[in-house]
Amino acid sequence: MGHSSTIHRRTRSSHDIQTSAFNQTSYEKNAIPYPTAKDTPPQLYPIKDLPSPQQLREGFKWVGSFKDHTTGEAHSQEQEDYTSTKNEYPPNETPDEKNVTHNLTAREDPPSLQQFEQLFEQREAEWYQRYQDLHSKFGLQILECQTEFFRCSREWHVRFEKINQEILEKSIENATLIAAVLYQMTEKMISKENFNVRGALERMVHHAKLIKKIGAGCPTEIQAGLNELAKTPAFTKVLRKEAASRGLKPEAVTPCIASVYGKVCQHAHGNDYIITLYEEGYTASELTVLATFLRMQSEWPHGLQWREEKRKKYTKH
């Protein structure tokens, strides 16, 4: 199969047009028609308008001569300014020093003591006159306001004393009623042969409700009341002291609080001359909790006295 001898023409770019004369064979120059100079686009910066090297050297010479000329004029102007300044001020004296000297010589003499006294008396008279004017204008209103203030203060003082007296009377009455209720409870404990640790815990819960140590919403069970008392800061403070005196930690003692009343009901029977906490039948933690409750209630008004000891064993003869 033979190949066509026809050479196809392609689109020429401006780069091809400008570089077409380089690296071409005689066959390519004859086979491919290239555009002439009139077909090429005009250049933005014609070469013929650029200055020649001779013109550039002449321009540099002119710039250098202009710079030397202007620098010389500035230097001569500085020399003239320095000469005029030097002639205006005497030697060893700057313009600032001359101005200061002139101001010191031109300042007036300070006022005398007599002038100060006269000025002070004048100002004092003016302020006193102003005070007299204000007093004559607002003096009556000030007196009326003071009178009203004293009257209101006296009324509030009388009212406060009356309310305070009523509160005191009610407090005394309330304390008397609480004491009467506690006395009746103690008598009931003795009559039921419950004057012991169990009865003391029951009385303690009712006493706490009377003096608002326990809220009104607390359940009626004795153990529930003891649980509420165990949450108070006073109980925590006493428990720490009791645990420390017995060589125990409060964290190891608190778990038995929830069952301490049931344990007491098993051992406390009959009346005691003084509420007595016997060591037999209780663990060290239970004794610590019971001692904390008894000591806590003994610090309240009308609290019960108590003691802790070992139960005496009687032998038959």
> In angstroms, what CA-CA distances link 283 with 151, 260, 279, 297?
68, 11, 8, 21
Dig out the tokens for 286 from the structure.
């239970």
Q: What integer pLDDT is reported at residue 316 of this predicted model? A: 45
**Average pLDDT for runs of 10 along the chain of length 317:** 50 49 52 48 51 63 52 53 50 50 56 82 87 84 89 91 91 90 92 93 93 86 93 94 92 92 88 89 92 94 90 50
How far apart are the C-alpha atoms of 152 and 264, rounded to whole Å? 61
Three-class DSSP category at 276: strand
Q: Rounded to two decimals, what is the model's pTM? A: 0.52
Pick from 243, 237, 257: nearest CA to 288? 243
Q: What integer pLDDT is reported at residue 45 of this predicted model? A: 46
Contact 288, 259 (CB under 8 A): no
Query: In b/e form, how buried is each residue of 4-32, taking b as 16+ CB within 10 angstroms?
Result: eeeeeeeeeeeeeeeeeeeeeeeeeeeee
